A and B are shown apart, each in its own frame.
Chain A
Amino acid sequence: MGPIAINGLISANLNLVIAVFLGMGFGFVLEASGFSSARNIAGAFYGYNFVVVRVFFTAVIVTMVGLLYLSYFGWLNLSQIFILPTYLPSMITGSVIMGLGMIIGGFCPGTSFAAVAIGKIDALFFAIGLYIGIFIFAEVFPFLEKFYLSGYLGHVTLTDLTGIKAGWWAFGFTVIALVAFWVTASIEKKVRKKIKEYKF
């Protein structure tokens, strides 16, 4: 039955209207869980605030397990959902650059938009930067095209690559997340003792 838009159960236009509401859900949870603050995000990398890490991993696990259940009940055809393609060299390079951008700018695209919505000027500047960065990429794209398309592995999942079933991956991520929650909570406790002026 699902994904219902792909299987023609709703019209293309209705799908766009729903997109606005799904986006609203996403923006709401981002803002409500503290992603609209650059100091919360940067905090994860200095050990004083791991809330964004916990929310992020919880979301990954909930989705993984949820997808498996929906597929198990026959409600969702997993072969019809979008799987991100893998291009090894360019995606590794891109991720390193994004990590650098995140620690300097304090946001990622989604969080900056949620933060703009509540009046953060720093987020607005970050969003303007995003626009400039993508413009620069588009302009130099002819020189990067070969690199951009190199190392293509296809739309591969972890299961395609390793042969290990998705259920085990979901289980593995859950275990890692639980350990991470425990470790980050104890780091947070230690680091926060040293910081006085920041409100948690």
Chain B
Amino acid sequence: MGVVLLVTIFISGRELGISGAVRDSVVATANVISPVAAKESTYYGKFLKNGHHPMDNWLDYEVLGVILGGLLSGILFKRIRKPFVERGPNVSKGRRLTAAVIGGILFGFGTRLGRGCTSGAALSGASTFAFGGVLVMVILFASAFAFAYFFRKLWI
């Protein structure tokens, strides 16, 4: 993983991120539903200024690769299965999926405040000695650890 990140920095000068691509897809959706409102919006507008498609971005190509790479590894190591829900021993399917959506919503919201997710901010940021990256890494993991007790029924 370190080597992949290193090669990425060497080639492109940028780092591995994920959440920015989800942001781009949200921006693209808003732009399709209501182009005028999207351009006027303080948030979407920022990503629509340069004129090209909001998903024509380095990150979006990279994330496409992430899915393909995951698939390749799944095929190679025979971990690929018919779609299923992975869950803790004491939690129902419905609860696991509800928790997954809620967790996703919180995480998604948090990525925008945090300027990136575990990949783009914590991993890449810390690896390039960025203070913000170390900050996100430490607080993100500390927060998950601090809240772990309250959600133990989901996992153990």
Contact = CB atoms under 8 A, between A and B. Distances in A.
A11 interface: no
Given A91-B115, A156-B130, A15 B110 contact: no
Contact of A113 (B70, B88, B120): B70
A137 B143 contact: no
B69 A28 contact: yes
Contact of A82 (B14, B66, B69): B14
B139 interface: yes
A129 B108 contact: yes
A145 to B, nearest CB: 6
A34 to B, nearest CB: 9
Contact of B108 (A70, A134, A160): A134
B118 A109 contact: yes
For the residues of B in contact with A, the DSSP-based class is: helix
Nearest to B152: A46
A116 interface: yes
Contact of A129 (B13, B102, B151): B102
Contact of B123 (A28, A59, A128): A59
Interface of A: 2-6, 10, 15-33, 36-39, 42-43, 45-46, 48, 55-56, 58-64, 66-67, 70, 75-76, 80-88, 90-138, 141-142, 144-145, 148, 153, 155-161, 166, 169, 173, 195, 197-198
Given A127-B104, A137-B113, A148-B112, 17 more contacts: A22-B12, A22-B62, A28-B69, A29-B4, A31-B69, A94-B109, A97-B109, A103-B148, A106-B154, A109-B107, A109-B118, A116-B70, A120-B86, A122-B96, A138-B44, A138-B112, A141-B43
